[in-house]
Structure 1
Amino acid sequence: MLKFLKNRDFLVKLLLSYFLVFVIPFVAGLYAYYNGYSISLNNLKSYSKTIMTNLPSKINDVALRPLELIEESINASPFYLTLISNHNLLASKNEIILDIRNFTQQLMLYYTSPFILEIGIYIPFENIIITPNFFESSKLYYDYIVRPIDTDYLDWLNLLNKSYNRYFMPMSFLIRGQPRSTILFLHSLPYWTFQDKKATLFILLDEEKLNDFIKSNVIYENSNIYVLNSDNTTLTQYVPDKNIDSLLKDTIKNSFTENSLTEMKTKKDKIILYYKSDMYQWKYIIAISSQSFFKPINNMKIYLLLYFIFSLILGLPTIVLLSLKSYRPVDEIKNILVSKFKKQKFSYPYSEGIENIEDKSEMIKLKELASLLVAEEEFLRKQINEFLPTLQNWFLEHLLVGNIPSAISEKEVFEKYQIKFDSDLFMVILVEIYDCQNFELQKDITDYSFVRFIIFNILNEVLTSQNNKVYNVILGEKKLGIILNIVDHNDTVDSIVGRLEYGKNFIQSNFAILLTIGVSTIKKGISAINTCFEEAEKALSLKFISGNVKIYKFSDALSQLKDETLSFITPEMENRILECILNGNKASLEEIFKNIHSKIFVSDNIPIIQAKLLCVNLYILYENACRLINYKSSSELFKIIENEIITKTNTLTLDDLFFKIQDNFIRLAEFVKNNQLSFRFTLVEKVKTYIDEMYSDPNLSLSLIAEKFNITPQYLSSLFKEKTGQNLSDYITHLRIEKAKLLLTQTNYSVNEIALKVGYIYPNSFINVFKKKVGLSPTKYRTLYSSQN
């Protein structure tokens, strides 16, 4: 018999396949139908009991428990003492405005619950209502804020004057002009007693959202669910099956036992289960029609018969056709993908030949597309690897200068840039290229990229000798940074400086590259990298005192600059000097320099080193002022500074040097005065233009703009406020919000994309600022104004 079957024709084998594929599943389906009916009935009962066990606790957690917390918090609020001490609250409202504001801000916190539409407190003895945005009479509240639909003012007032203990009732309200179905929660506050009358807390719950929440917790869509209060009044209901709704209304009030789970059958075979909550006396009823529930199962019999007839007529020919045409290139696809991983170098020209695929058969298309996708993946990976050093340098540079928000300093963010620190100890080393004439390609053109390559490789070699990890940062053409992650906790600043000295001397003797290096202290934590950078900057600034081609530690800076106030011009002093120059006020400028000279050079008798550093700071301020008014700085003064301070010729006394700097400042003021210029207005306009161009930069700030225009942040802030009448930060925020409005109404960008385009890294920050300034969320603003346009 088996041999006979093996010699059968192809169609006979297909016939056997037909019985295996169609007939056996049909018989199994009939058996499953009759056996599954009883199982489904038991599952229906279990499902109903489960829903009625879990739903009340879920509603209590998300909607009712917050009401209890609000009630307890308000009842214990010290604001009650403020109210009871003022006999006429409306008349004395201005006197307690801060208390009112603090209390209303507390109320605003409760609006985070999605089910709460309004929170209010009714004070009966003065007939006033307090909400997060309202502190007036109940009449004004009824007329303009929230009004019960189909309830006049006296009935509403009478309702509020009664005594309640966590009572709920359904009521429709007109809230700020919009009709809403709500569940009104009323509770008398025991501590808020005024002349023997207790204040009433009322909260409006969004009945529609509660209904949606119930719907989301229902698995079987034809489950009718009713929620009643202690008076058997329906608070909300979800009734997809209208046929059983009228029947239940006659039975739900008297047919159940409190705090129990009860099954009930009607003449139409309905299953009803009832549950009553312990805390708020809410009653939950679920009703499911067994006929409706088993309708799909009953239809299964018809489908099975149709399936059998269809398979009998069309099944066999379909199997023949599909068998003749079927082809499964699974092995070929697998081999293509596996071969990709075995190849060390994949050179498939994925960008070529894609146009020729359309004319080929389906299976050939599939194989070639798989090859193209694999090649494209490899190409994209190479592109990412090419851009990674640039992205890594950008990230590390911003990390050094403190432009990376603290929220972004997380492990996974650093891993995106392939940055991994092995310990929490850090040091920053700043390297400045002083001279590298051997690498000049032609006159005034130096191959700094090759110079940087040499410096980084040699210094990295000496710094990683103790298993430390280094990350290189290009800060400028001639300025480099190294973030040293110290793994050996016994490593010290002196030992690291010793290795740096060896590397510096090696570079100098073998490549004739002269370097000046500033070294910070060792600090703990990623957040301290910016502090280390600032320390290294201060250490590097000692080159103005002691010369270049040296290594300076931050401890050197501390020992040589014991009193920083004697060496540096304070921001307030810089502001006064710049103000005199921009106004062309020569007399005031002379008075300022006279005071500096008499206090520092005459009275205090400061050390020569600090006096020279003061002159350097004055010269830097002079250069900034020249750029500010488009004035060509004095080359003669630069040579004097270079000769007297950097190369230390000492041909001038400190007094002579100070007065030469003073004379150059006086010339700036005379230049402004003689040309009748008004740079203060011009500067503000330049700043506004710069903000208009750069508002999309998340790093745009007062300090960044001040650095751009070479002035102190304090001076820029006061000048901008004086000329425009608003703070600079407010101006930036206003501009960003206006740009966002245009993008919301005139483009299809998402809110997240718009946030990035107007300078916000985090969409939540943008949404909060937009809502605060406009009064609407970005999404609501787009919906409202786009429809109007």
Structure 2
Amino acid sequence: MLKFLKNRDFLVKLLLSYFLVFFIPFVAGLYAYYNGYSISLNNLKSYSKAIMTNLPSKINDVTLRPLELIEESINASPFYLTLISNHNLLASKNDIILDIRNFTQQLMLYYTSPFILEIGIYIPFENIIITPNFFESSKLYYDYIIRPIDTDYLDWLNLLNKSYNRYFMPMSFLIRGQPRSTILFLHSLPYWTFQDKKATLFILLDEEKLNDFIKSNVLYENSNIYVLNSDNTTLTQYVPDKNIDSLLKDTIKNSFTENSLTEMKTKKDKIILYYKSDMYQWKYIIAISSQSFFKPINNMKIYLLLYFIFSLILGLPTIVLLSLKSYRPVDEIKNILVSKFKKQKLSYPYSEGIENIEDKSEMIKLKELASLLVAEEEFLRKQINEFLPTLQNWFLEHLLVGNIPSAISEKEVFEKYQIKFDSDLFMVILVEIYDCQNFELQKDITDYSFVRFIIFNILNEVLTSQNNKVYNVILGEKKLGIILNIVDHNDTVDSIVGRLEYGKNFIQSNFAILLTIGVSTIKKGISAINTCFEEAEKALSLKFISGNVKIYKFSDALSQLKDETLSFITPEMENRILECILNGNKASLEEIFKNIHSKIFVSDNIPIIQAKLLCVNLYILYENACRLINYKSSSELFKIIENEIITKTNTLTLDDLFFKIQDNFISLAEFVKNNQLSFRFTLVEKVKTYIDEMYNDPNLSLSLIAEKFNITPQYLSSLFKEKTGQNLSDYITHLRIEKAKLLLTQTNYSVNEIALKVGYIYPNSFINVFKKKVGLSPTKYRTLYSSQN
């Protein structure tokens, strides 16, 4: 060892090693400590301001604003006229019993607020109190209903006889034999004047619930919050830090500068105070001990000191010993990587003789290690490239339907999804495959993937002729979306539609594929893409009026669909119709159709186009119901719809057409009833089976499953909850977590790989959900239960 120490190069390397390993981290730790202290202090001040900005507005919304509305409503109540016209209210109470009942029922409505314990009105000239359940003298109210603790009757009466303007004060009451801490709200009603005396509205607020509400809105648990009234009397307080509370006993009522930080120094501590008032003259004060807040950071000083001592006493000897040992970790690292590649069944360079690495030189080992790392990088890049189109389609689909935050920037879009827009002008084009049977027969096509490939390629070719960019989205088996990023600002909707018409005709003549297309207007900004999608949907809905195999612009929809509410069956109505069919309830189904006919065809006198569109919607619902119960739909009804609406023969009146559709719906209900079928339960089982097969699809959702089974999302959600006692989304999450548990304990997949295999695109989302449901992170769960197994 002395021989090495005499070597000057060795000593230089030793000192450099010590400097790099111990001294630089120590200096970095000192810098991190002081920088962290400064940042934390700023965060503490920002936190105090944020709490005092949000908390008063939240309390106003849930507590104080409702009181104002109650006060205004009672003050304007016509019941006052009934009271003033009767001089002896208690004696004539039976004569006005209906008026009293109506007024007290109105008072009962205000009890929906969880913070309100009691609402009452004190009438001074006859000394009576009115509550939802009481209309008697104030003495009876004091003796048997609610009484203030530590306040006698005369003091209570004197309190009610004073004049108030939205005054709050703390007071404890005995309510139904139980002591309760409350905040008493008092207000003189200006319209309720009897013999020059105004009635007093009093409302008891639950101070304990208000305190819990404050607690739920506090992020830092040692924040003391005080709420005072206009007289600086404490209404409620949340004081987890008792030390601060004892220090502030005398100073909490002092006047602080509003909306500014105040620092109160003591012998051992410094307290950060922030004060704010609101429109109701409530004062809010937050107090946080800097000693308590900075305790974790102050502990860092001790760790740095211990680290410095350790580096002096043990650092140098440790470095010397490690330097003298001929430890070569290359073999170990290489073996780990080789083992990983073998499990993944990947080929890697220098595989021949890989197990006999002891016989090879260090240079060759390093080359092999570098080759393995390059191979792994290539493998990861390949995985990312394979998954990127799916991720991009998921993003674009959710961007269309409005599930992406509107504030997302182009930079975020590029960084996460490798999508770069060349301008801020967008248009959405929706394409429906109306018919491609001839093409399928000629080419023996088993699915629509090849058809979609042809459509996208040809339409993209014609749409990019003006240097515009297109982004293709698969919305369904036969429904496609195209987001057109318009680079040429002189391009118009009409010119784009002209190019679309050329592409549509080319596809139709060369591939026998018939398309119906809806086109939106041109709008500015990424956030407008969802609006463009809705416009394209409305344009596409014109196919029910004017037929398929056409291109429709949103401007056409504006002129023809002026009143959509008359022409479409609401989701709630669809749910009721499907429920009646699946239950075989013929009578209820007849009643529903009777109401539809009475409301829309008779009362509203809708235009012919709207009436026909309504009939088409009912026919689509009929087809979906047939598929639900495996019932062959009526070909005769289809011919009638085709003749009356598409070819417009007009041989039937609209009433006759409506009743034809109604008869077919009733036939479905009779079929279910006569065969004693239970399709509602069968449908839920089919949905569960479908989820069991598709749980690893990141796009799996309520709306996607509803579309798969041709029912509305609302009906599927309520039916699934009724039959299983569980929300559908909870069922999907539970299944994914159970599958993840098996993969964690029975395979060597990484957490990121398992997240993808159970349907989570983002590993962080999977980790958060897993931890919430299981109580452990995936890594801890694997460590615990793999060792037990």
TM-score (norm 2): 0.51
State the alpha-carbon separation in 2 of the partners of residues 159 and 437 from structure 1: 86
State the alpha-carbon separation in 2 of the partners of residues 49 and 428 from structure 1: 44
**How many Å apart are 1:568 and its aligned residue?**
0.7
Q: 1:207 to 1:763 in 2, by over 3 A?
A: farther
- Equivalent pair of 1:259/1:278 in contact (CA under 8 Å): no
Q: Which moved more, 1:346-355 or 1:616-625?
A: 346-355
**How many Å apart are 1:571 and its aligned residue?**
2.1
- Is 1:51–2:65 an aligned residue pair? no
State the alpha-carbon separation in 1 of the partners of residues 40 and 691 from structure 2: 68
Q: Which moved more, 1:395-404 or 1:692-701?
A: 692-701
**How many Å apart are 1:252 and its aligned residue?**
32
Q: 1:625 to 1:42 in 2, by over 3 A?
A: closer
Q: Deviations over 1:738-770 (max 9, x none)?
A: 889999999999999998888777788788888
State the alpha-carbon separation in 2 of the partners of residues 386 and 193 from structure 1: 79
**How many Å apart are 1:69 and its aligned residue?**
32
**How many Å apart are 1:583 and its aligned residue?**
2.4
Q: 1:491 to 1:511 in 2, by over 3 A?
A: same
Q: 1:269 to 1:763 in 2, by over 3 A?
A: closer
**How many Å apart are 1:415 and its aligned residue?**
3.3
**How many Å apart are 1:735 and its aligned residue?**
7.4
- Equivalent pair of 2:274/2:286 in contact (CA under 8 Å): yes
Q: 1:592 to 1:54 in 2, by over 3 A?
A: closer
**How many Å apart are 1:139 and its aligned residue?**
33
Q: 1:361 to 1:730 in 2, by over 3 A?
A: closer
Q: 1:484 to 1:667 in 2, by over 3 A?
A: same
Q: 1:375 to 1:735 in 2, by over 3 A?
A: closer
Q: 1:140 to 1:348 in 2, by over 3 A?
A: farther
* Larger Rg, first or second structure (1 or 2): 1
State the alpha-carbon separation in 2 of the partners of residues 464 and 664 from structure 1: 47
State the alpha-carbon separation in 1 of the partners of residues 92 and 400 from structure 2: 54
Alignment match, 2:744: 744
Q: 1:155 to 1:758 in 2, by over 3 A?
A: farther
State the alpha-carbon separation in 1 of the partners of residues 317 and 367 from structure 2: 30
Q: 1:573 to 1:310 in 2, by over 3 A?
A: closer
- Equivalent pair of 2:331/2:357 in contact (CA under 8 Å): no
Alignment match, 1:762: 762
**How many Å apart are 1:576 and its aligned residue?**
2.2
Q: 1:699 to 1:178 in 2, by over 3 A?
A: farther
Q: 1:370 to 1:213 in 2, by over 3 A?
A: farther
Q: Deviations over 1:108-139 (max 9, x none)?
A: 99999999999999999999999999999999
Structure 1: runs of 5 or more not aligned: none
Q: 1:296 to 1:558 in 2, by over 3 A?
A: closer
**How many Å apart are 1:428 and its aligned residue?**
0.9
- Equivalent pair of 1:585/1:673 in contact (CA under 8 Å): yes
Q: 1:130 to 1:15 in 2, by over 3 A?
A: farther
Q: 1:633 to 1:131 in 2, by over 3 A?
A: same
State the alpha-carbon separation in 2 of the partners of residues 11 and 166 from structure 1: 81
Q: Which moved more, 1:252-261 or 1:330-339?
A: 252-261
State the alpha-carbon separation in 1 of the partners of residues 217 and 73 from structure 2: 30
**How many Å apart are 1:581 and its aligned residue?**
1.5
Alignment match, 1:786: 786
Q: 1:540 to 1:74 in 2, by over 3 A?
A: closer
Secondary structure of the equivalent of 1:605? coil
Q: Deviations over 1:645-689 (max 9, x none)?
A: 334454544333322221111111111211223444444555566
State the alpha-carbon separation in 1 of the partners of residues 646 and 98 from structure 2: 59
Q: Deviations over 1:332-361 (max 9, x none)?
A: 999999999999999997878867877654
- Is 1:81–2:61 an aligned residue pair? no
Q: 1:157 to 1:420 in 2, by over 3 A?
A: farther
Q: 1:30 to 1:469 in 2, by over 3 A?
A: closer
- Equivalent pair of 2:261/2:272 in contact (CA under 8 Å): no
Q: Which moved more, 1:435-444 or 1:84-93?
A: 84-93
- Equivalent pair of 2:52/2:276 in contact (CA under 8 Å): no
Q: 1:472 to 1:697 in 2, by over 3 A?
A: closer
- Equivalent pair of 1:329/1:363 in contact (CA under 8 Å): no
Q: Deviations over 1:676-726 (max 9, x none)?
A: 234444445555666677677665555445444433344344445555667
- Equivalent pair of 2:427/2:529 in contact (CA under 8 Å): yes
- Equivalent pair of 1:332/1:367 in contact (CA under 8 Å): no
State the alpha-carbon separation in 1 of the partners of residues 9 and 486 from structure 2: 79
Q: Which moved more, 1:246-255 or 1:350-359?
A: 246-255
Q: Which moved more, 1:602-611 or 1:515-524?
A: 602-611
- Equivalent pair of 2:341/2:347 in contact (CA under 8 Å): no
Q: Deviations over 1:526-545 (max 9, x none)?
A: 23323322322222222222
Q: 1:327 to 1:526 in 2, by over 3 A?
A: same
Structure 2: runs of 5 or more not aligned: none
**How many Å apart are 1:249 and its aligned residue?**
32
Q: 1:86 to 1:636 in 2, by over 3 A?
A: same
- Equivalent pair of 1:350/1:376 in contact (CA under 8 Å): no
- Equivalent pair of 2:37/2:297 in contact (CA under 8 Å): yes
Alignment match, 1:577: 577
- Equivalent pair of 2:431/2:517 in contact (CA under 8 Å): yes
Q: Deviations over 1:175-217 (max 9, x none)?
A: 9999999999999999999999999999999999999999999
TM-score (norm 1): 0.51
- Equivalent pair of 1:148/1:156 in contact (CA under 8 Å): yes
Q: 1:299 to 1:569 in 2, by over 3 A?
A: closer
State the alpha-carbon separation in 2 of the partners of residues 442 and 101 from structure 1: 78
CA-atom RMSD, angstroms? 12.2
Q: Deviations over 1:238-295 (max 9, x none)?
A: 9999999999999999999999999999999999999999999999999999999999
State the alpha-carbon separation in 2 of the partners of residues 47 and 568 from structure 1: 50
- Equivalent pair of 2:4/2:10 in contact (CA under 8 Å): no
Secondary structure of the equivalent of 2:19? helix
Secondary structure of the equivalent of 1:22? helix
Alignment match, 2:561: 561
Q: 1:412 to 1:95 in 2, by over 3 A?
A: farther
Q: Which moved more, 1:613-622 or 1:340-349?
A: 340-349
**How many Å apart are 1:615 and its aligned residue?**
1.4
**How many Å apart are 1:498 and its aligned residue?**
2.8
Q: Deviations over 1:436-463 (max 9, x none)?
A: 5774564763796555444434432332
Q: Which moved more, 1:497-506 or 1:383-392?
A: 383-392
State the alpha-carbon separation in 2 of the partners of residues 748 and 85 from structure 1: 85
Q: 1:696 to 1:407 in 2, by over 3 A?
A: farther
Q: 1:58 to 1:379 in 2, by over 3 A?
A: same
- Equivalent pair of 1:514/1:549 in contact (CA under 8 Å): yes
Q: Which moved more, 1:424-433 or 1:596-605?
A: 596-605
Q: Which structure 2 residues correspond to residues 112-511 of structure 1 after superposition, within 5 A?
A: 360-367=360-367, 369-371=369-371, 373-374=373-374, 377-378=377-378, 381=381, 384-385=384-385, 387-404=387-404, 411-435=411-435, 439-440=439-440, 442=442, 445=445, 451-508=451-508
**How many Å apart are 1:573 and its aligned residue?**
1.8
- Equivalent pair of 1:431/1:479 in contact (CA under 8 Å): yes
**How many Å apart are 1:518 and its aligned residue?**
0.8
Q: 1:544 to 1:205 in 2, by over 3 A?
A: closer
Q: Deviations over 1:602-642 (max 9, x none)?
A: 44443332222111111111122223333333333334333
State the alpha-carbon separation in 2 of the partners of residues 570 and 613 from structure 1: 13
- Equivalent pair of 1:520/1:539 in contact (CA under 8 Å): yes
State the alpha-carbon separation in 2 of the partners of residues 51 and 599 from structure 1: 52
State the alpha-carbon separation in 2 of the partners of residues 657 and 97 from structure 1: 55
**How many Å apart are 1:552 and its aligned residue?**
0.4
- Equivalent pair of 2:770/2:776 in contact (CA under 8 Å): yes
State the alpha-carbon separation in 2 of the partners of residues 606 and 42 from structure 1: 64
- Equivalent pair of 1:117/1:204 in contact (CA under 8 Å): yes
State the alpha-carbon separation in 2 of the partners of residues 674 and 30 from structure 1: 83
- Equivalent pair of 2:432/2:480 in contact (CA under 8 Å): yes
Q: 1:348 to 1:284 in 2, by over 3 A?
A: same
Q: Deviations over 1:458-517 (max 9, x none)?
A: 432332343322112233454332111123444332332233233334444565554321
Q: 1:461 to 1:103 in 2, by over 3 A?
A: farther
**How many Å apart are 1:551 and its aligned residue?**
0.9
- Equivalent pair of 1:53/1:275 in contact (CA under 8 Å): no
Q: 1:302 to 1:162 in 2, by over 3 A?
A: same
- Equivalent pair of 2:337/2:372 in contact (CA under 8 Å): no
Q: Which moved more, 1:30-39 or 1:399-408?
A: 30-39
- Is 1:689–2:689 an aligned residue pair? yes
